[in-house]
Every structure is written in C-alpha cells, then in structure tokens.
C-alpha cells in the first residue's frame, strides 16, 4: 500500500480518498472490472460514482499504479502493478482468470528474438479456453 502512495506523491499527485479506496479494493481481488470495483465500494462509499471509478482507474493505470488488462470480454480488468508480472489464462465458461509464470513468456520472447531479430519491449499474452472444472463438466 505504502508503495503506491509514494509513487503517486513522487509524480506530484495527491493520494485522495477516492484513489486510496479504489486502489485498496484491488488488494486481494485481482482482475476486477470497473463495475466490480464500483459494486464493492459503493456500499461504504456512496459518494463514489461509476464514472469516478473509471476516471480514477485510468489515472492509476497511467501512473503505473494499476495494470489494465483486456481479456477480450468487451471490458477491461485491473490489477495492482505491484503484483509480480505474470500472464493469464481465461476460462470462456466461468470467466475465471488463472495466472501463470512469466518466465515461460520470457523464454518465448527470447526465441522469437533469436529467430526474427525482433526486439521485444513488452508482451501480454492471454490463453483462452476452459478451466479444469468447466472442462470436466
Ligand atoms: Zn471455468
Ligand atoms: Zn493477474
């Protein structure tokens, strides 16, 4: 928590109450959409509107406090940028998001660089399919 407070301050932004509430709501609830965050915080903080949640998430993402992820669902999901970098697999049945180790992707990027001479700056790969439980049904 302290980490992102310092980050905001170092970039000249105040840690307003709404920024704190929204960033905190992502602790322990990774890969949340703006609407899910809104649903979680509105009970305790009726002053926060959905558009404020969207605006705040945009700012936090711009400042690298949160990471915005698009899993092809028609809306974005967010997680704290303080989480270790990892990749995602998404279940098309239940929407579960499974995280997996970044190192496999590093390896893949390295192979592509070797074969094509491409220089990778960042990568974001999502696997699409079914989770173990849904596949068993
Ligand atoms: Zn599933
Ligand atoms: Zn994640």
Ramachandran quadrant class, 66 (left: phi over 0; alpha: psi -120 to 50; beta: rest): beta
Domain that holds residue 50: 2-80
- Which of 80, 96, 116 is where one domain is finished? 80
Q: Of 109, 108, 88, 107, which is closest to residue 98 (Cα–Cα)?
A: 88
Q: Which two tokens stand for residue 95?
A: 């929407």
pLDDT of 106 reads 85
pLDDT of 4 reads 77
How far does the centroid of ligand 1 lie from the alpha carbon of residue 88, in Å? Answer: 13
Instruction: Summarize pLDDT for 61-78 with one digit per residue, the tens.
Output: 998 889 999 998 999 999
How far does the centroid of ligand 1 lie from the alpha carbon of residue 67, in Å? Answer: 23
Q: 72 and 92: one domain?
A: no
- Total domain count for the chain? 2
> If DSSP states are collapsed to H, E and C, what string results for 33-85?
EHHHHHHHHCCCCCCCCHHHHHHHHHHHHHCCCEEEEECCCCCEEEEECCCCC
- What pTM was estimated for this model as a whole? 0.81
pLDDT of 33 reads 96
Residues of the chain with pLDDT under 50: none
How far does the centroid of ligand 2 lie from the alpha carbon of residue 79, in Å? Answer: 6
């Amino acid at each position: 928590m302290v980490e992102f407070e310092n980050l905001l301050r170092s970039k000249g932004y105040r840690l307003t109450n709404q920024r704190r509430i929204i960033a905190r709501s992502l602790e322990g609830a990774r890969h949340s959409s703006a609407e899910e965050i809104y649903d979680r915080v509105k009970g305790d903080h009726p002053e926060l509107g959905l558009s404020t949640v969207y605006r705040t998430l945009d700012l936090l993402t711009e400042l690298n406090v949160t990471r915005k992820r698009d899993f092809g669902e028609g809306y974005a999901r967010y997680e704290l940028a303080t989480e270790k970098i990892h990749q995602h697999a998404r279940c098309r049945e239940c929407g579960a998001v499974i995280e997996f180790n970044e190192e496999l992707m590093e390896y893949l990027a390295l192979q592509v660089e070797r074969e094509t001479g491409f220089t990778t700056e960042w990568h974001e790969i999502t696997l699409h399919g079914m989770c173990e439980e849904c596949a068993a049904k």
